[in-house]
Amino acid sequence: MVDYRITVLPGDGTGREVMTEAARILDAISESTNLGFEQTIIQCGGQHYLETGQVWAEGSYAVCRDESDAILLGAIGWPGAKLENGDMAGGEVILGLRSGLDLFANVRPIKLYEGVKHKIHGNFSQQWAPDKVDLVVLRENTEGLYHSLLHRSAASAQGLAEYEPPEMEFPGLHGEVAWDPRPISKFGSHRLIETGFRLAGRRNGNPDGETVVHCVDKSNVTRGCQLFRKTFDEVALTYPEIKAEHAYIDAFTMWLVRNPEWFDVVVTTNMFGDIATDLGSVLQGGMGMAASANVGDEHGMFEPVHGSAPKYAGQNKVNPIASILSVQQMLGWLGRRKNDEALNNASRVVDQAVAEHLSEGKQVTYDLGGSATTEAVGVAIAARVKAILSEQ
């Protein structure tokens, strides 16, 4: 029996409900294999802050850093939960872990499973087929436009001063000015882009059968994006067997919706990736289907892309599949890292169980056109995972 230590951070709102279903999947795997998962649950986030005055208990960060083989996160963010400086309460949890544990790659698959309708209105939707949407966006996760908030969290922990905007006179810049510097480093870009090319090498290409990495940036305008693109071109030279393409972020959003089959792996900067993947989720049936992995060289944190959905919190209503697919990513990452074929197999089985569940289409939540509860979907997929594993 191998025991892996999984730290579960349910966080806010519906994050708590979907993490229960994620845990159910892990339990199903343990019951039918030699894999064990020791789950440590740590309450955290904006609601926790309102209840206790702390975003999480003292020592929680150290548990994530030192006592976890992987971390699962539900969702962070709650209306009215703000720190004294006005920043969102819980930001240190999600953004602090991303930067503190050097989780430099935010890996966000956009895949339309058979049986799921994408959420674009109009007649064009009839022309779409699941085999047109299967790409992965890699969002840089530790710098870019998120830098100022990351810096503020670090600065307050270490008693340092916040950034002050530089003195500048420029047309349009008068009176009060807020300033969010957007540093992009060659180091940060390089490790993200390298991860993208390696991932492309493991995949079967885009729906057109082409193995290609797209660099998505705004290098016609910003210095940071020029450095990102230059770094991309350098890395691309070392992967002659993989096609390398460029797109500006504005045009990319259009092509993503119009011709998703062109894309296989996409690498981009932090905020662009944040925005583009919410848009991309529409192609896969909505945010309830969008999973993500935050990974670095030493640590991994896995979370659904959706937020805490306060409107639906506590109603046993939201789709747990984004979280279940985040578990699937976690198992695959851990399997490669620990060289454990049982984990790799479990990851494939979770994907298969989700695919079969969706193509059967009987029990789906409201967002996919059904009326099943969060729990019912979790229970059904967990049962399928067990059934597949016990037949092996």
Rule CB under 6 A: which residues touch ligand IPM?
Answer: 76-77, 94-95, 274, 305
Minimal CB distance to Mn ion: which residue? 274
Question: Is 263 in contact with 277 (CB distance < 8 Å)?
Answer: no
Stretch of 70-78, 110-118, 271-279, 358-366 lying at the interface with Mn ion (CB under 5 A): 271-279
Separation in Å, CA 94 to CA 88, 302, 334: 11, 11, 20
- Please identify, using beta-carbon distances, which residue of 38 and 278 lies nearer to Mn ion: 278
274 binds Mn ion (CB under 5 A): yes
Question: Is 132 in contact with 260 (CB distance < 8 Å)?
Answer: yes
- Please identify, using beta-carbon distances, which residue of 76 and 112 lies nearer to Mn ion: 76
CB 305, min distance to ligand IPM, A:
6
Question: Is 12 in contact with 91 (CB distance < 8 Å)?
Answer: no
Burial class (CB in 10 A: 0-12, 13-18, 19+), 354: buried
Minimal CB distance to ligand IPM: which residue? 274
- Please identify, using beta-carbon distances, which residue of 308 and 373 lies nearer to Mn ion: 308
- Please identify, using beta-carbon distances, which residue of 37 and 272 lies nearer to Mn ion: 272
CA 256 – CA 259 distance, rounded (Å): 6
Residue among 82, 28, 98, 31 at smallest CA distance from 354: 28
- Please identify, using beta-carbon distances, which residue of 26 and 89 lies nearer to ligand IPM: 89
Residue among 295, 299, 261 at smallest CA distance from 128: 261
CB 278, min distance to ligand IPM, A:
7
CA 319 – CA 22 distance, rounded (Å): 11
Stretch of 239-247, 274-282, 365-373, 381-389 lying at the interface with Mn ion (CB under 5 A): 274-282
Separation in Å, CA 40 to CA 7, 71, 245: 5, 9, 43
- Please identify, using beta-carbon distances, which residue of 273 and 296 lies nearer to Mn ion: 273
Amino acid 307 reads: G
Ramachandran quadrant class, 116 (left: phi over 0; alpha: psi -120 to 50; beta: rest): beta
Instruction: Report what 100 binds from Mn ion, ligand IPM, none; CB cut-off 5-8 Å by kind.
Output: none
Question: Is 155 in contact with 188 (CB distance < 8 Å)?
Answer: no
17 binds Mn ion (CB under 5 A): no
303 binds Mn ion (CB under 5 A): no
Question: Is 238 in contact with 221 (CB distance < 8 Å)?
Answer: no
- Please identify, using beta-carbon distances, which residue of 261 and 367 lies nearer to Mn ion: 367
Instruction: Report what 77 binds from Mn ion, ligand IPM, none; CB cut-off 5-8 Å by kind.
Output: ligand IPM
CB 344, min distance to ligand IPM, A:
26
CB 277, min distance to ligand IPM, A:
7
CB 363, min distance to Mn ion, A:
27
Stretch of 68-76, 111-119, 270-278, 319-327 lying at the interface with Mn ion (CB under 5 A): 270-278
- Please identify, using beta-carbon distances, which residue of 280 and 332 lies nearer to ligand IPM: 280
Phi and psi, residue 216, nearest 5°: -110, 120
Three-state SS at 96: helix
CA 272 – CA 254 distance, rounded (Å): 14
- Please identify, using beta-carbon distances, which residue of 140 and 261 lies nearer to ligand IPM: 140
Stretch of 139-147, 156-164, 197-205, 273-281 lying at the interface with Mn ion (CB under 5 A): 273-281
CB 200, min distance to ligand IPM, A:
23
Separation in Å, CA 256 to CA 87, 203, 270, 282, 287: 32, 19, 18, 11, 16
Size of site (CB under 5 A) for Mn ion: 1
Stretch of 73-81, 102-110, 169-177, 267-275 lying at the interface with Mn ion (CB under 5 A): 267-275
* Contacting positions for Mn ion (CB under 5 A): 274
